[in-house]
Structure 1
Amino acid sequence: MQAFIGRRRELAVLREAFDRVSDGIGSSEPGRCLLIRGRRRVGKSSLVEEFLRVSGAPSVYFTAAGGSADAELAELCDAVAQSGLPERGLFIDEAPGQWNAALRLLADILPDDRPSVVVIDEVPYLMDSVDAFEGQLQRLWDRHLRRKPVLLLLVGSDLSMMEALNEYRRPFHQRGTEMVLGPLGPADLAEMLDLDAATAFDAALITGGLPLVARDWLPGTSVWEFLGTALDNPTSALLVSAERSLAAEFPPQAMAGEVLRAIGSGERTFTNIARAAGGIAHSTLTRATDLLIGKRIVIGELPLSTRPSKERRYRIVDPYLRFWLTFLEPHMAEIERMRGDLALRRIRVGWTSWRGRAVEPLIRESLARLQPIDGLPASAVVGAYWTRGNDVEIDLVGADRAPIAKQVHFLGSIKWLENSPFDNHDLVALQRHRVAYGVEPLPLVAVSRSGVTSAGLHAAYGPDELVEAWR
């Protein structure tokens, strides 16, 4: 079995919460609750399973499946009966027929003299199928669970519904601490897959940092070796994970799926997305983009400057989904008939161009993590700037806030090519865009995959420095 890699910070958070439960034994309210949310296949369940393994605490792990309330209740009872809780046999003897009774019985059988863990995974399904589930959960917590030495972990993949669970005026408001689980970062992937820093960023773009996809990448192998192997197997995680996630998010007829594919094909503006999605109406596109943004699948970004702008651009948040929609989904039929070599050939042709734009958000996040840059005020945000006609495009803008900054700290350029360093031509272009940006002369920063040969920059970063930001 492959070793569990990364997630040190998240495991430490879970361990700290568990220790607080343990230290609170004998007090009036030792219970603690964490609300864990993250996109599908980002590794939430694996993280919790690893925590349960290392903690060794008596526990029950129940995963909702999207069935009826009665079917979910039966699964809960079975999960408790098969769990490590010492009094689990009561669920076999009494077989509760109502959710309220089952949750109350679960609370009753938890130990009073040692800490335990209760995990409810895919909570949004229960919010949909069980009448007044949030109210029942609130009563269970207030009257019983918080008085027990128990760590309650509520896990979910629907980000907007998990956020709503803790909103003001909702029954469970402020009863749990929120924990957001993102994908594995480049540093985790470098360690997990034995990759150099530059290739770790490639792996982050292809796998999206999703552990299930990354596990198929044999340590030490190149991008092309991984892709060749994955494309030869129509059931590989690289090929099927996105399809399954989208099927869970959208019904087949949902217009949001068509809009997502238009954005995945490279369209970024509202007008071009509408055209690529078949010329759909403005109102339909607005509803679809609102849904995609609400589900945290797509983000709509504005240029970062001291002046307001309406030039919004859309992009897919998950680079793996972006990669899949660009290179894989349009050609699944030929991959399924064992012609993955054709898809691989297309990826080779389009890789450099696609990677150059896809890596930009990851680099901005890396620089945000590296703040402050040498001798400059710390930038709360690192964004980008563009004009409607793209006559001015600046890859990196460090500022105090977004999208309308009070103070801009630096401008920068990204050159992410295999054998072409950032040179004097790139510096002159950046200086020209700095003049057009219209703010007082600002320090200039460069990020390059292949080094920097020009002078006149305030700072320069390569893959090695960037990957350190994720450690």
Structure 2
Amino acid sequence: MIFIDRERELEAIRERLNSDKLELILIYGRRRIGKTSLVLEAIKGYPSVYYLATEGRNNLAKFKQTAERVFPNIKFVKEDWESMFFALRDKVVVIDEFPYLIREDKAISSIFQKIIDEVLAGTKTKIILLGSSISTMSDILSYKSPLYGRRTASMLVNELKFKELRRLGFDLNEAIKIFGFAGGVPYYLTKVKTPFLDWINTELKKVDSFIKDEVDFLLRYEFQEISTYKEILLAIAMGKNSLGEIRDFVGVGGEVSSYLKKLERIGIIEREVPVLESKKSKKGKYIIKDKFVNFWFRFTYPNLSEIEEGIFEISEREYNEYLGRIFEEVAVQYLKERYRLNKVGRHWYKDVEIDILDKDLKLAGECKWSEKVNGTKVLYDLKGKLERLNLNVNKIVIFAKSFYKKDESEEVEYIDLEKLKEWYNKGNVT
């Protein structure tokens, strides 16, 4: 299941492995995204060494021990990186969590540069460096890095798309609930059971639940001190989305901007602007992009005491409120596929907010994660918003779990869960 929607990545890595030249491949992405499993699958059948770097000291000695188990002659090789790679010429060498080597020895990138330029030049050696620290791996890719210009390929491993959850056996209704918790992160998706709310409430009562400390581990891959970052994320999860609101909540003065930029850089948050505005718009709001992190700061972090006591539960009402924005994301994915829209998102001006608006004004929409919605009223309200903003669109689409009343106008389309199932289950949009 871990290789769902990873066929292109596997093919790209194997193409590099089959080349007749030296390759330096950098593969990175957030913790639990499936980088290691992807690479281990790709190198099957190739003469290779896989080494998982560790925090602390002695990674070189540990690497030699690992390589020796695969290639016994390494036992007689001098214990330095240049000698080791000379002995492993024309092999596949995978170093997982390469940022740990950088923490141990700041000169390691320069050492690897020399190995590539002098020790391995003209060979068919394949070096694959993996990392969960997106900031560190991005630095390696920058022009300031000694390895700049040496890499032959790089790959950011992203989350699975929402529709891929069907291949894990989740029906649409449960998939939306699970997507709000796990996003498209394979590790989390393989942990979940249905019904989701029963599972999550049971999981949160476990003394050894992986959920409790997961975000701390995730942040420590990127930052040495994480307390301020956690307070910033809590503020955003609580609906404090502007720079001023976050600064007031956290109380770190003007420094909050630098924290936000670092969180943006690693993909945990993003600055969302109204879809008709430029990226530099002053109307931007910060949102938590990573769904597991968003879930954690909405339900786990504020309730850690009750969770430790084993008395905390997420109610269906609370979770349905949380799923409103998740349902919007699913609706946007549907509309992008069906109408081939280039840019679609939320739009707001003063007290007017529209859930879905196409930048080219082909389409506007509203989403209600509710049963038996009065679609006629939603249509009337949306038309009022468009009129107030002096916007004209060709089509209106309204999403809900189900409707009890609809307008018969040709300008509006109502999409309930039954209609979404066709797209979700078969990949077709009609």
TM-score range, shorter-chain basis? 0.7 to 0.9
Matched, 1:240 2:231: no
**1:453 aligned to 406, 413, 418, which one?**
406
Q: TM-score, normalised by structure 2?
A: 0.87
Give the secondary-structure state (helix, strand or coil) at the position aligned to 1:215.
Answer: helix
Residues in 2 aligned to 1:207 and 1:306: alpha-carbon distance in whole angstroms: 30
CA change 1:166–1:365 in 2 (3 A) is farther
The answer on whether the counterparts of 1:216 and 1:237 sit within 8 Å (CA) in structure 2 is no
The answer on whether the counterparts of 1:65 and 1:125 sit within 8 Å (CA) in structure 2 is yes
Residues in 2 aligned to 1:430 and 1:447: alpha-carbon distance in whole angstroms: 12
TM-superposed deviation, 1:440: 4.1
TM-superposed deviation, 1:38: 0.8
CA change 1:95–1:367 in 2 (3 A) is farther
Matched, 1:329 2:337: no
Residues in 2 aligned to 1:127 and 1:40: alpha-carbon distance in whole angstroms: 18
**2:51 aligned to 62, 66, 70, which one?**
62
Counterpart of 2:249, as a letter, is: A
**1:106 aligned to 49, 64, 85, which one?**
85
TM-superposed deviation, 1:104: 4.3
The answer on whether the counterparts of 1:435 and 1:441 sit within 8 Å (CA) in structure 2 is no
TM-superposed deviation, 1:48: 1.8
Name the counterpart of 2:37.
46
Name the counterpart of 1:383.
345
The answer on whether the counterparts of 1:422 and 1:450 sit within 8 Å (CA) in structure 2 is no
Name the counterpart of 1:176.
152
Any idea what the Cα deviations from partners look like across 1:295-346, whole Å, max 9, x if unmatched? 321111111115773111011111111111111122223323333xxx22x4
Name the counterpart of 1:309.
281
Name the counterpart of 2:395.
443
Q: TM-score, normalised by structure 1?
A: 0.80
**1:152 aligned to 109, 115, 127, which one?**
127
The answer on whether the counterparts of 1:104 and 1:140 sit within 8 Å (CA) in structure 2 is no
| Matched length | 421
Give the secondary-structure state (helix, strand or coil) at the position aligned to 2:234.
Answer: helix
Counterpart of 1:110, as a letter, is: R
CA change 1:438–1:154 in 2 (3 A) is farther
Residues in 2 aligned to 1:459 and 1:12: alpha-carbon distance in whole angstroms: 40
TM-superposed deviation, 1:67: 1.8
Write out aligned runs for 1:57-456 (5 A): 57-68=46-57, 71-83=58-70, 88-96=71-79, 98=80, 102-111=81-90, 116-145=91-120, 147-174=122-149, 175-192=151-168, 194-218=169-193, 221-252=194-225, 254-277=227-250, 279-281=251-253, 283-305=254-276, 309-339=281-311, 343-344=312-313, 346-365=314-333, 367-368=335-336, 370=337, 373=339, 378-387=340-349, 389=350, 391-399=351-359, 407-417=360-370, 419-421=371-373, 423-450=375-402, 453-454=406-407, 455-456=409-410
Give the secondary-structure state (helix, strand or coil) at the position aligned to 2:146.
Answer: coil
The answer on whether the counterparts of 2:394 and 2:411 sit within 8 Å (CA) in structure 1 is no
Residues in 2 aligned to 1:47 and 1:432: alpha-carbon distance in whole angstroms: 50
Percent of aligned positions with the same letter in both sequences? Answer: 26
Residues in 1 aligned to 2:129 and 2:267: alpha-carbon distance in whole angstroms: 19
Give the secondary-structure state (helix, strand or coil) at the position aligned to 1:171.
Answer: coil
Give the secondary-structure state (helix, strand or coil) at the position aligned to 2:241.
Answer: coil
Counterpart of 2:214, as a letter, is: S
Any idea what the Cα deviations from partners look like across 1:89-127, whole Å, max 9, x if unmatched? 23322241x3xxx2443243334xxxx422111222323
Unaligned runs of 5+ in 2: none
Residues in 1 aligned to 2:230 and 2:361: alpha-carbon distance in whole angstroms: 37
CA change 1:347–1:457 in 2 (3 A) is farther
Any idea what the Cα deviations from partners look like across 1:193-215, whole Å, max 9, x if unmatched? x2112321221111233222222
How well do the aligned residues superpose, as a CA RMSD in angstroms?
2.9
Residues in 2 aligned to 1:42 and 1:3: alpha-carbon distance in whole angstroms: 9
Counterpart of 2:341, as a letter, is: S
Residues in 1 aligned to 2:131 and 2:2: alpha-carbon distance in whole angstroms: 24
Give the secondary-structure state (helix, strand or coil) at the position aligned to 1:385.
Answer: strand
Residues in 2 aligned to 1:470 and 1:48: alpha-carbon distance in whole angstroms: 28
Counterpart of 1:189, as a letter, is: L
Give the secondary-structure state (helix, strand or coil) at the position aligned to 1:147.
Answer: coil
Any idea what the Cα deviations from partners look like across 1:342-383, whole Å, max 9, x if unmatched? x22x44331111110244345435544x16x0xxxx432222
The answer on whether the counterparts of 2:2 and 2:34 sit within 8 Å (CA) in structure 1 is no
Residues in 2 aligned to 1:322 and 1:382: alpha-carbon distance in whole angstroms: 22
CA change 1:210–1:262 in 2 (3 A) is same
Counterpart of 2:17, as a letter, is: F
TM-superposed deviation, 1:5: 4.4
Counterpart of 1:351, as a letter, is: Y
